Amino acid sequence: MARALVLTVIGEDRPGLVEDLSGLIASHDGSWDESRMARLAGHFAGVVQIHLPEESAEGLIAALPGLSARGLEVSVVDSDWRLATIDHRDSFRLDLVGQDRPGIVRDISHALAALGVSVQDLRTVVESAPMSGERLFRAHAELAPPPDVKLARVRAALEQLANELMVDFTLEAGSGS
């Protein structure tokens, strides 16, 4: 039987951090399934979903603290293998852009949560606007709605907020919707 683990990792950025982590996982017969990793403020941070044989899991968990000597802090959460294999085909894609200000993520996530919509993937960046140089906030998200929440309902909720937040967005059905 396989066991699914979710690892969160952070360390001062340097070449070889992913190699160190992936090598340890492979040495315990683990398979790297899905990850999101990025360099943020000089640090390398990420989340990794892996699976491995049940009999190898405790050995890997015990070995993870050893990566701190190589500059990588790792925490682990056991996951239910059935949850790790759920396919969210009925998803929506959200792209948003607007002048940066505090609270954009809070307000958008509040509106989505009120509808029971789950954020499956969220990527954000702040960059300089081409002409003015002002700070632009950009977000791309994959959203998983409950079966009874349709695209038009989510769009209506976001349209109400878009005017208040002074942001533009597009919302589209993902594959399978």
Rounded to two decimals, what is the model's pTM?
0.78
> Looking at the chain, which residues constitute the CATH 3.30.70.260 domain(s)?
2-84, 92-173
Contacts (Cβ under 8 Å, ≥6 apart) of 168: 96, 97, 98, 162
Domain 2-84 CATH assignment equals 3.30.2010.10 = no
Q: What's residue 89's pLDDT?
A: 59
- Residue 86: the pLDDT is 54
Domain 92-173, what architecture? 2-Layer Sandwich (3.30)
> Looking at residue 82, what is its pLDDT?
65
Say which DSSP state 116 is in: T
Average pLDDT, 10 consecutive residues per value, the chain (177 residues):
93 94 96 93 95 95 96 91 60 95 95 95 91 91 94 96 93 74
